[in-house]
Amino acid sequence: MKLLILNGPNLNMLGMRDKDHYGTLTLEEIERIVRFKYPDEVFEFFQSNHEGELIDKIQGAASSSFDALIINPGGYAHTSVAIKDALTECKIPKVEVHLSNLSGRDDYRQVLLTASSCTGYVSGFKEKGYLAAVYLIREILGK
């Protein structure tokens, strides 16, 4: 199975950001954990602080032979109609991941524009959310 894992703005700062919300691991450490836990899967990881680059990756996912997509859109989850539209048009299974428990955060974080364009979402389990997302994708695809 070939999975694209996208990470949005400020996730390049993991390990330095608010550790209570985002955990202590860097994005690179999370990538290593995912690869270690699922050694038989093929992963492409991509992080960008730029909306258009994330949209380009989403739009190319199905035509690039990816079986599924996992996305942590960061703050774009609450603001980006353009990413939502790209996710809607991407016809492969998609799981959205949020490291922090959004239901316990600011009111504006309660609105997720992008999640409704995904098969589902995981929130509040820090780096374990990525592992849960891979597990869920495997279940969806019958792997």
Query: Amino acid identity, residue 18?
Result: D
Q: Is 22 tagged catalytic?
A: yes
Exactly one of 22, 76, 121, 130 is catalytic; which is it?
A: 22
* Contacts with 54 (C-beta within 8 Å, 6 or more apart), sequence order: 6, 8, 46, 48, 71, 73, 76, 83, 86
Q: Specify which residues 95 forms β-bridges with.
A: 70, 120
Exactly one of 38, 98, 121, 130 is catalytic; which is it?
A: 98
Q: Is 121 tagged catalytic?
A: no
Q: How far is CA 64 from CA 57, 60, 67, 90, in A?
A: 9, 6, 9, 12
Q: Which residues are catalytically annotated?
A: 22, 98
